[in-house]
Amino acid sequence: MEKLWTGRFHKALDSQVNDFNSSISFDSRMYAQDILGSIAHATMLQKGGILSEQDAEQIVSGLQAILEDIQSGALQIDPTAEDIHTFVEAELTARIGDVGKRLHTARSRNDQVALDLRLYLRDQISEVAALVRALIEAVTDKAEEHAETVVPGYTHLQRAQPIVFGHHLMAYAMMLLRDLDRLHDCNKRMAVSPLGSCALAGTTYATDRAFSSKLLGFEKPCENSMDGVSDRDFAIELASAISILMMHLSRFSEEIILWCSWEFKFIELDDAYSTGSSIMPQKKNPDIAELVRGKTGRVYGNLITLLTMLKGLPLAYNKDMQEDKEAIFDSLDTVKQCLAVFAPMIATMKVLGENMRRAAAGGFIGATDCADYLVKKGLPFRTAYKIVGEIVAHCIENGLTLETLPLAEYQKFSPLFAQDVFAAIDLDACAKKRISYGGTSPDSVRRQVQYVREALQTAE
């Protein structure tokens, strides 16, 4: 395919350089955005009298036909084209003749590519957001089911205090809700049109950038043409929001992997969402969670690629910026794949409440409540803490637990202990009486569920 810029050159491009320079293999996915951007541009040119009505009509219908033909498969994108912008323009000219060459008036590929990328990423944000929502719903439904299922809460991966499993899950729902918010937030700054910035300096034609911006669903045109063509912070912001989202999924994955182990056995993944081993017949592996955890690394890598690619670039456009696309596209593809399997994995997992309960009963998980018991009887917390520490040490030495230690023994440590201590350290009571706002009590978990469902309803 002939280059757009052959006029100044005496020789064809070296074929290896051609391959090296070409971006069609990855920017062809923006064909629809490229064509819609061109339609808006031609419409604007016609409105301003820069293109005749007849020329504009031919261009617009030619572009619409190209879009339909690519969508239907009737037109294949030429893999030897330099990029998607070149391909569409050349195809248009091949179809409608010289009038097609008028489309690129008052525009450059520099503002065109910045526009296409923003349009494409805006569409992608909606897709990712829909998947995040579905995951939040799955997590929230599971949490509601398990608003009373007692499980150990951990710090330092040591049993700390009893909680209900729904509370643990709702912590992830809150993180994911912020991820959703971050995605919407990216969209706010992405909703600014660079179209009409031209190569870098704007144009002498009487363009109406506000008009083309509106046609494409942007909030407004960008204020500075150099910024419009040079900036990719919108892609970095999205790569960063996706990285944070992946970090949350990765933490969640790590827990799922632990919970599936025989050491925990808190959950069992559905057969459709786990895999077997080629040699060990007993194995049921949490591959999805492991892959999500593993893929988080490449998503972080893409963020660093983008930050590093831009950090030394002088204004305005430099070809380095062509490297933006593969990185952000890979982050999007990866996060979408992960979310698509994560939500049904959560929805179908079996929660083994009995095992959770057994683990919660095993440690000295009621120790804080035992100390609080003494505080309620008048002791300062520090003193109570020390007494309970001594009781725990005594139990460990004698193979006892706080539940099995006889009252008489308790009383040797403090005369304030009475029969009601056993009710105070009862597992269910310990989890369920933490009624403080945001605490683990079942009512609090149900309130959180309500909060998240309402937030999902009001979110754009």
Q: Which of 25, 126, 261, 277 is catalytic?
A: 277
Cis peptide before 94 (omega within 30 of 0): no
Q: Which of 10, 15, 156, 436 is catalytic?
A: 156
CB 203 → ligand ARG: shortest distance, Å?
16
CB 177 → ligand ARG: shortest distance, Å?
34
Q: What angle do CA 323, 328, 130 make, to 5 degrees?
A: 160
Q: How far apart are CA 392 and CA 398, in angstroms?
A: 10
Contact yes or no for 377/369 (Cβ under 8 A): no
Q: Which residues contact 252 (CB under 8 A, 6 or more apart)?
A: 172, 289, 342
Find where tokens 């955005």 sit.
33
CB 13 → ligand ARG: shortest distance, Å?
13
Q: How far apart are CA 62 and CA 60, in angstroms?
A: 5
Active site residue 277: yes
Amino acid at 114: A
DSSP 8-state code for residue 215: H
What three-state secondary structure class fits 265? Answer: coil
Q: Where are the alpha helices (DSSP H) in 364-440?
A: 367-376, 381-398, 407-413, 421-424, 427-432
Tokens (6 digits) for 203: 């144009």
CB 112 → ligand ARG: shortest distance, Å?
7
Judged by beta carbon, residue 101 or residue 377, the one nearer ligand ARG is 101
Judged by beta carbon, residue 317 or residue 410, the one nearer ligand ARG is 317
Judged by beta carbon, residue 174 or residue 200, the one nearer ligand ARG is 200
Other Cβ atoms closer than 10 A to 170 = 29
Footprint on this chain of ligand ARG (rule: CB under 6 A): 23, 27, 83, 109-110, 113, 317, 319, 321-322
CB 36 → ligand ARG: shortest distance, Å?
17
Q: What CA–CA distances, in Å, run from 357 to 152, 265, 365, 442?
A: 8, 11, 11, 15
* Catalytically active residues, by annotation: 156, 277
